[in-house]
Chain A
Amino acid sequence: MESFLFTHPATKSIDRPAHVGVVGSGDLEIILEPNDQATVEVSIRTHVTGHKATWEAVIKRFFEQHDIAANVKINDFGATPGMVAMRLAQAVEVSSYD
C-alpha cells in the first residue's frame, strides 16, 4: 500500500459529490467532494507500489484540463493510466450533471 497527496490550483466549484468506480482488479474508486478552497486536493491510496511519477503525471494532466475545486479521494486496485483518466472524467461528469 502506498499513498500520495497532490494539490493543484483550481477555480470552479462542483455542483454535487460523486462516487464512481469499482473496488476490483484493474479498477479504482473515486470520491469527489466539493470544497471551498481554490485548489483541487487529490489523495491516492494504491495497492500497486512504485508508480508515483505516473500518478503525478496523470493527475496533473487531468486537472490542468478540468478546472474544479474539490477534494478527490482515489482508492486504486491496479488501474492503468487510461482507466484512471476515464474514471476521473466519469466522476466530473456525475458531479456537474444538471
Chain B
Amino acid sequence: MEVNPHDLLEIACKSDLISYSPQPDWVGLSLDRAPFVVVRRARSAEGFISVGVRGEKRNERFAAFLPGDRIVKRVTPEQLAYEQKWKERPEKLFTYVDEVSCMMEKFSLNWGPTGSVGFELASDKETVTETSDVDVIIRADSRLTNELSRQLMVELRKFPVAVDVQVELLEGAFSLSEYASVKDGEILLRTMDGPILKQIGALKMES
C-alpha cells in the first residue's frame, strides 16, 4: 500500500510497532485509547513505514516503524476533508476547520486536515485542546502560484487561531506562509532526507 507523510494508519496491535529506543509508558496508553499512528517524512527499510505515535502533550511524540502488511486502515488528509466529519464535533476549533474547507473549495485546492484535528477526525477520539492550531496540507499543483499563496495568507491571518498550511510536493513540503513571504531566493523544503534549502524557482509544483 502506498502511503504518504501525514496519512493516519490504524493498527491492530501495538506490538506490531518496531522501535529502537525504549517506549515511554504514554505510548502504550495512547495507542490503547486510539490505535492510530501518523506516517512520518523519513526513510525506512524496504517493507516498513516510518510512523509516529502522538501523546497528549506536545513533547509526547514517539518514532517507530510499522511493517507495511500490518496496516488495518489508511486515512488520508483528503479523505478527512471529503468526509467533513468536523460538522459533528462540538469543539470550537472545528468551526474554523469548516471555514478553511470553504476557502479551499473556493480556490479548488486539493487539501486536508492533519495534526491534532486530523487525528481527532480519523480516530473519533478527542485530541484537540484549547491551544491547538489548525494544521492542514495542500497538494501542490501549477495553480498554486506565489500570487495565490499571498491571497490565501491574507485570508488565513484573519482567523482567530493559527492555521498552519504545508504545501506538499512530490519532493517534499514547504510552508505556505514562507512561500508567500519569499518572492525569490531560497525556501526550506522538508524532504525524506531531512530539511534542505531550495531556490523557489526550482520547485516542481506537482504532487
Binding site for B on A (CB under 8 A): 21-27, 47-51, 78, 80, 82-83, 86-87, 89-90, 93
- For the complex, give the distance between the alpha carbons of A25 and B131 in Å: 12
Q: Contacting B133 at CB < 8 Å: which of A25, A87, A89?
A: A25
Q: How far is the CB of B63 from chain A (nearest CB, A)?
A: 10
| Chain B interface (Cβ < 8 Å from any Cβ of A) | 58-59, 61, 115, 133, 135, 162, 164, 166, 175, 177-178, 186, 188, 190, 194-197
The interface residues of chain A lying within 8 Å CB-to-CB of B178 are: 21-22
Q: Is A47 within 8 A of B175, CB to CB?
A: no
User: How distant is the Cα of A24 from the Cα of B173 in the complex, in angstroms?
Assistant: 13
B164 touches which of A25, A49, A50, A82 (Cβ 8 Å): A25
- Residues on A with C-beta less than 8 A from B61 are 78
Bound-state Cα–Cα, A87 to B195, Å: 9
Complex-state Cα separation, A47 to B133, whole angstroms: 13
What's the minimum C-beta distance from A48 to chain B, rounded to whole angstroms?
5
Cβ-defined contact, A86 with B177, below 8 A? no
Contact A48 B164, CB 8 Å, known A22-B175, A89-B197: no
Contact A90 B175 (CB under 8 A): no
User: Are A24 and B133 in contact (CB-based, < 8 A)?
Assistant: yes
Given contacts A24-B133, A25-B164, A90-B197, contact A50 B59 (CB under 8 A): yes
Measured CB to CB, the closest approach of chain A to B179, in angstroms, equals 10
Contact A24 B162 (CB under 8 A): yes
Report yes or no: A24 in contact with B164, Cβ–Cβ below 8 A: yes
A86-B188 contact given A22-B175, A25-B133, A49-B59, CB 8 Å threshold: yes
By a CB distance below 8 angstroms, the chain A residues around B59 are: 48-51
List 30 A–B pairs whose Cβ atoms lie within 8 Å, in order of A's numbering: A22-B177, A22-B178, A23-B177, A24-B133, A24-B162, A24-B166, A25-B133, A25-B135, A25-B164, A27-B175, A27-B188, A47-B58, A48-B59, A49-B58, A49-B59, A50-B59, A51-B59, A78-B58, A78-B61, A80-B194, A82-B195, A83-B190, A86-B188, A86-B194, A86-B196, A87-B188, A90-B186, A90-B188, A90-B197, A93-B186
In the bound complex, CA of A89 to CA of B197 (Å):
9
**What residues of chain B lie closer than 8 Å to A47, measured between beta carbons?**
58
Which residues of chain B are within 8 angstroms of A22 by Cβ–Cβ distance?
Answer: 175, 177-178
Of chain B, the residue at the smallest CB distance from A89 is B197
Closest B residue to A19 by CB, please name it.
B181
